[in-house]
């Protein structure tokens, strides 16, 4: 018995030494690791714009090792959320949510025992400015800035916010994405004032992607100051006066958009005249509601992707004819996504069969649509090469739908 044990010991000793399961250096290339970290920590809104960030997760990843620090820190500072409201000033707070991370290993406890931020906190603006001034190598990391205004009354903090954001643009010359949002119950005119203030900043022209509300004349000033703008999202806004709308002079907008999303427009405004005047040959992605879509009369030769939101808009015979006729002005259209059709089941298939045959991907995003309507559409669909249909998960799991797609030669997405 001891002899057998001795032989076993020798065999074990001859085996190559095992490597630790977790090492300080990631085995993945930094580019792949960065994508994984961003997918874990970022929640995306649309057009690749980050809607929220898990800052607590990113901060912990920064503390894993020296190898993880550069990648996780880039994601941590890459998207900065700031919120301004009627609350106390920075100096009145007994703690700050955010502490600076330098380029050292960070294996020492952080002084002051800071409170970790919640899942989606705003940065504390003065602490952020202090970090950026102290560590210049952090400044190029800031690429997207999202500002939420939640004021219910006029306060001195509005002027402080405008001054702070101006300093951020001066320090961070690589901010290319900007979001201006209104908090619940806040006054949209405040955002208009902020947009007006930002338009005077000499570094605002670096912005290429922007999300903002229809807030007032300040929006026009900000759009005039961003000639490099390529992606624009206009969310819900408030009613304007005619004088506000007149400040949108198409000739003063120098940007050429690639992507445009419009959730709302004043009645006096025209998407053709105000937002597509110089982008008709460059726009490739459009996301609009049906009434706005029907108002577009320009030819868009480069448009390849269209998101169309019906949202219970009455679809009369005249509107239907106008919608189908509009597709003739988009000869490059290949992807069409339809949201909330709100049609009777018997009218769904006839509508879908009228869509142009150049479409390669049709996505139906309507949870109320019935399976029989889709089956009827697939039954009557003429043969088409390389056509794909994208449905809700529940419906595309149906065996009847899968068999109908296979019979029609349609790829189910």
Task: Name the residue with higher pLDDT: 31 or 334.
Answer: 334
Given a contact cutoff of 8 angstroms between Cβ atoms, the answer to whether 72 and 64 are in contact is yes
Q: From the CB of residue 134, how many other CB atoms can be counted at a distance below 10 Å?
A: 10
The answer on pLDDT for 391 being more than 80 is: yes
Identify the band that residue 19 occupies on the pLDDT scale cut at 50, 70 and 90: very low
Distance (Å, rounded) from C-alpha 265 to C-alpha 234?
A: 9
Mean pLDDT of 119-127: 66
Long-range contacts from 216-220, C-beta under 8 angstroms, 24+ separation: 216/188, 216/189, 216/191, 216/192, 216/240, 216/244, 217/192, 217/244, 217/247, 218/191, 218/192, 218/193, 218/194, 219/192, 219/195, 220/247, 220/248, 220/249, 220/252
Burial zone of 3 (CB within 10 Å; 0-12 exposed, 13-18 middle, 19+ buried)? exposed
Domains and CATH numbers, the chain: 27-283 (no CATH), 288-413 (3.80.10.10)
Q: Read off the pLDDT of residues 315-341 as tens digits, 9 standing for 90 and up.
A: 788 888 889 999 999 999 999 999 988
Q: Read off the pLDDT of residues 128-153 as tens digits, 9 standing for 90 and up.
A: 898 899 989 999 999 999 888 777 66
Q: Read off the pLDDT of residues 56-67 as tens digits, 9 standing for 90 and up.
A: 888 888 888 887
Residue 196 has a pLDDT of 84
Give just the sign of the alpha carbon dihedral 157, 160, 166, 170: negative
Distance (Å, rounded) from C-alpha 362 to C-alpha 382?
A: 14
Place of tokens 């001066």: 170
Distance (Å, rounded) from C-alpha 161 to C-alpha 22?
A: 44
Residue 147 has a pLDDT of 87
The answer on pLDDT for 18 being more than 70 is: no
How much is the mean pLDDT over the chain?
78
């Amino acid at each position: 018995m001891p002899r057998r044990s001795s032989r076993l010991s020798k065999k074990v000793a001859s085996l190559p030494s095992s490597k630790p399961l977790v090492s300080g250096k990631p085995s993945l290339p930094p580019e792949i690791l960065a994508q994984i970290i961003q997918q874990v920590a970022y929640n995306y809104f649309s057009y690749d714009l980050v809607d929220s960030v898990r800052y607590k997760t990113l901060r912990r990843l920064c503390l894993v090792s020296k190898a993880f620090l550069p990648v996780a820190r880039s994601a941590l500072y890459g998207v900065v959320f700031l919120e301004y409201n009627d609350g106390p000033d920075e100096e009145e707070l007994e703690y700050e949510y955010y502490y600076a991370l330098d380029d050292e290993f960070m294996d020492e406890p952080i002084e002051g025992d800071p409170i970790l931020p919640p899942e989606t906190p705003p940065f504390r603006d003065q602490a952020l400015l202090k970090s950026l001034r102290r560590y210049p190598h952090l400044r190029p990391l800031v690429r997207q800035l999202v500002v939420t205004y939640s004021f219910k009354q006029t306060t001195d903090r509005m002027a402080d916010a405008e001054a702070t954001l101006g300093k951020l643009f001066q320090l961070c010359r690589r901010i290319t994405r900007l979001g201006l949002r209104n908090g619940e119950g806040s006054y949209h005119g405040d955002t208009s004032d902020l947009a007006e203030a930002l338009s005077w900043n000499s570094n605002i022209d670096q912005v290429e992607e922007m999300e903002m509300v229809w807030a007032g004349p300040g929006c026009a000033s900000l759009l005039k100051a961003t000639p490099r703008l390529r992606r624009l999202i206009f969310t819900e806004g408030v009613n304007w006066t005619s004088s506000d709308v007149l400040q949108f002079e198409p000739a003063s907008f120098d940007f050429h958009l690639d992507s445009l999303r419009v959730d709302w427009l004043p009645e006096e405004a025209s998407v053709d005249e105000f937002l597509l005047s110089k982008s008709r040959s460059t726009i490739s992605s459009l996301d609009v509601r049906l009434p706005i879509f029907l108002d577009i009369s320009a030819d868009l030769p480069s448009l390849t992707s269209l998101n169309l939101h019906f949202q219970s808009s009455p679809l009369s015979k005249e509107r239907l004819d106008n919608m189908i006729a509009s597709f003739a002005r988009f000869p490059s259209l290949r992807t069409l996504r339809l949201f909330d059709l709100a049609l009777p089941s018997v009218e769904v298939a006839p509508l879908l069969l009228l869509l142009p045959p150049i479409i390669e991907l049709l996505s139906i995003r309507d949870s109320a649509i019935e399976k029989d309507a889709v089956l009827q559409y697939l039954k009557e669909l003429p043969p088409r090469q390389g056509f794909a249909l994208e449905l809700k998960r529940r419906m595309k799991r149906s065996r009847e739908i899968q068999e109908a797609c296979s019979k029609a030669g349609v790829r189910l997405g």
